[in-house]
């Protein structure tokens, strides 16, 4: 995990520059709406508003000060009270509002790994980051379902090699994980070891079996079931290529040949290094 954070901060050094602020997309899911906020920040984060008939729930509120202001303006424009703010994998600019976190995450965010990551963000971005939250925190147990804004939120354990956050099934229709599925090469921050390949395949299969039709993540945004199926096929092929090619160079060459033109190719060298080490 420390190696992953070192890679992350190297990437942030490159991307720490002025960027346009975010944009919103809205999905009408009959009995509720999902508002997706693409922050366009240096971390590729996404934030969410789940809109019931009378009330709102937020998830993964943004971390950067400009994004917080933009998100909060949009939130206020909906004209409904916020009854819960869920912080799952990403601590954000929730101010003094109370938040809900998955079982075990409040303690994890205070530890060396997550705390060190946040200190690194502060050193890299300085005042561009929002102040850390000061509100009370409650925990949602894995396997529990909570109804907020008239919508059920089911909390289950996320991928076993990731932070100890939750995958959340929202209204039986939207499935949230740390990383949204995409028809692209994955980040080496997500697929950071051969064990992560297996863990992410298992998590993606669980997502498909959930009955959801829309799949979202703290990084990325919204995707359909085809993206989840692509992720499974891709990672199963990665597993096959790792068994077939013992050196980093051979694996990298085979991976790029298997997916010519696939988005994210600029990250395949880092992915090969994470999966093959110094071989």
pLDDT tens series, the chain, 279 aa: 544 444 444 444 334 444 458 999 999 999 999 999 999 999 999 999 999 999 999 999 999 999 999 999 999 999 999 999 999 999 999 999 999 999 999 999 999 999 999 999 999 999 999 999 999 999 999 999 999 999 999 999 999 999 999 999 999 999 999 999 999 999 999 999 999 999 999 999 999 999 999 999 999 999 999 999 999 999 999 999 999 998 999 999 999 999 999 999 999 999 999 999 887
Long-range pairs, 69-76, Cβ under 8 A, ≥24: 70/21, 70/22, 70/37, 71/22, 71/37, 71/47, 74/24, 74/35, 74/37, 74/49, 75/49
Closest to 59 (Cα-Cα) out of 89, 23, 96: 89
Q: At 123, is the secondary structure helix, strand, or coil? A: helix
pTM recorded for the entire structure = 0.91
Closest to 34 (Cα-Cα) out of 47, 21, 23, 43: 47
Residue 232: φ, ψ to 5°: -60, -50
Tokens of 76: 């206020």
Domain ranges, ordered by start, for the chain: 2-276
Q: At 265, is the secondary structure helix, strand, or coil? A: helix
By the 8 A CB rule, do 19 and 41 touch? yes
**Pure H helices in the chain:** 2-15, 65-77, 105-109, 112-125, 194-209, 225-244, 248-258, 268-276
Tokens of 152: 């059920």
Q: At 28, is the secondary structure helix, strand, or coil? A: strand
CATH architecture of 2-276: 4-Layer Sandwich (3.60)
- For 199-237, the pLDDT digits (tens) are 999 999 999 999 999 999 999 999 999 999 999 999 999
Place of tokens 């206020």: 76
Residue 121 has a CB neighbour count (10 Å cut-off) of 21
- What's the pLDDT at 11? 44
């Amino acid at each position: 995990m420390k190696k992953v954070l070192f890679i992350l901060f190297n990437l942030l050094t490159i991307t720490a520059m002025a960027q346009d602020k975010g944009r919103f997309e809205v999905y009408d899911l009959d009995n509720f709406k999902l508002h997706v906020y693409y922050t366009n920040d240096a971390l590729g984060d996404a934030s969410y508003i789940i809109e019931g008939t009378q009330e709102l729930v937020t998830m993964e509120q943004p971390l950067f000060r400009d994004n917080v202001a933009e998100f909060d303006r949009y939130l206020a424009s909906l004209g409904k009270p916020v009854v819960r703010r869920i912080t799952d994998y990403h601590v954000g600019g929730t101010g003094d509002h109370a938040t809900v976190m998955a079982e075990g995450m409040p303690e994890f965010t205070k530890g060396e790994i997550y705390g060190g990551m946040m200190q690194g963000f502060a050193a890299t971005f300085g005042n561009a980051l929002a102040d850390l939250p000061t509100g009370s925190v409650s925990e949602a147990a894995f396997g529990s379902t909570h109804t907020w804004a008239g919508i059920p939120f089911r909390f289950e354990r996320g991928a076993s090699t990731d932070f100890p956050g939750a995958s959340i099934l929202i209204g039986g229709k939207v499935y949230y994980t740390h990383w949204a599925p995409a028809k692209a090469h994955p980040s080496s921050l997500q697929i950071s070891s051969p064990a992560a390949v297996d863990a992410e395949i298992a998590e993606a299969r669980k997502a498909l079996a959930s009955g959801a039709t829309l799949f979202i993540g703290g990084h990325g945004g919204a995707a359909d079931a085809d993206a989840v199926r692509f992720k499974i096929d891709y990672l199963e092929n990665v597993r096959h290529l790792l068994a077939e090619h013992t050196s980093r160079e051979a694996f990298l060459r085979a991976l790029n040949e298997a997916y010519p033109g696939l988005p994210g190719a600029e990250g395949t060298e880092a992915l090969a290094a994470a999966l093959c080490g110094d071989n």
